[in-house]
Amino acid sequence: MLYERFVVLARHKTLHKRNIFLQFVGVIAIWSLLLLAPIIHLHFYLYQLIYFSIYDIPKIRFKDYWVLDRWDLHKLTIWQKASCVYCGYGNALTAWTKAVTNQTEVYSCAIKHSTHVLGEEHEKKFFPYDKFR
């Protein structure tokens, strides 16, 4: 616990030594995704609603990927809690869109890639690539 606190304090001091302009640019870079994330979310929601319904593909629930447990931490400021919600949403959205895409691949194109690809563990039961050459 003491070590963790030391690392957080050391990191905090390092951040204050950085140029304020670079900190501002970093904040804009991170929070600018807040504009795009809901559009991506809506797109994948509608995609799933339409495509998965037509072909009776089981839908992937977003709420299974988003956890809001850090909001209950009393030692965090409101800004830190908001950041945790934002990061949690971003990670959940990324994982959910990956799961929706994987589900599409399982039901639409169950052929393995020619080489192993990270994040494609769902391909284990797919047909071998060489059978389709």
User: For tokens 């204050």, what's the residue?
Assistant: 16
Q: For CA atoms 91, 93, 97, 102, give the dihedral sign.
A: positive
pTM exceeds 0.75: yes
Specify whether the CB–CB gap between 47 and 100 falls below 8 A: yes
One pLDDT digit (tens) per residue for the chain, 133 residues: 555 655 555 565 565 666 888 888 888 998 898 899 999 999 999 999 999 999 999 999 999 999 988 888 889 899 888 888 999 999 999 999 999 999 999 999 888 888 888 888 888 888 988 888 8
Burial level of 48, CB count in 10 A (0-12/13-18/19+)?
Answer: buried
Please name which of 123, 105, 93, 112 lies closest in space to residue 55, comparing C-alpha atoms. 105
Tokens standing for residue 70: 């850090």
Three-state DSSP class for residue 111: strand
CA 111 to chain centre: 25
Q: In whole angstroms, what is the distance from residue 47 CA to residue 49 CA?
A: 5
Q: In whole angstroms, what is the distance from residue 25 CA to residue 99 CA?
A: 32
